[in-house]
Amino acid sequence: MGETPFHFDRDIQQYCFAKILDSDVAAAILARAQDVVKFVSTELGIKDHPRVRWIRPASPEQARATLKRHVLDRSVAERNPHFFRYCSDVEKACTPCDAGLNEIWIRAELVGSPELECVAAHEVRHAWQKSSYPEVFADDCRAEGDATPYGYELAARYLDGGNRLTDEARKWIEGERSEAERNFHEKCPGVLFEVIATS
């Protein structure tokens, strides 16, 4: 068993994160993420593109000073402009559950290509689920079964359209997708791992 991550608050069994300013993220990374969001939003017919917010793990003490020790309501934590807490770790990115937050949150250290493109496309799909198919978004297995293959497919198409889908990037995407599918079937047996059919 590994060490407890520094951003895990043992008292309330939640992981703590800080929302950071765009100015603390390299301009090239901001531009890449925003370009993917625009591309995927256009594909999905999203007129109001989700905003990319950048996050990083934060110490429980930092989060507690703002969120207070016992504020566990997820929507309260999500709406705080500086910090939030979740009962599970956010390893790469997430989409807030609050219907009023048209945002996707990406960990600031996630800068590699094509990983950033795949993750951004995946989260925009979740934002679309939240607004268009809330019953899918509310079901973790169905939501992931749709967004995961979608994210890899759209990222590959996005990179290919800009002549940036190298053989190495294609192999990486295929390998990651295969591993994600294996992990998904272990976690969600009997649930489809495919892009849902929509009107």
What mean pLDDT do residues 42-69 have? 92
Q: Is the pLDDT of residue 71 over 80?
A: no
Residue 181 in this model has a pLDDT that exceeds 80:
yes
Residue 199: band (very low, low, confident or very high) from pLDDT cuts 50, 70, 90: low
pLDDT tens digits, residue range 99-130?
Answer: 999 999 999 999 999 999 999 999 999 999 99
Percent of the chain at pLDDT > 90 equals 84
pLDDT at 70 over 70: no
**DSSP-assigned beta bridge partners for residue 107:** 55
pLDDT at res. 198: 75
Q: Nearest-CA neighbor of 121 among 79, 177, 199?
A: 177
Give pLDDT tens digits for 123-159.
999 999 999 999 999 999 999 999 999 999 999 999 9
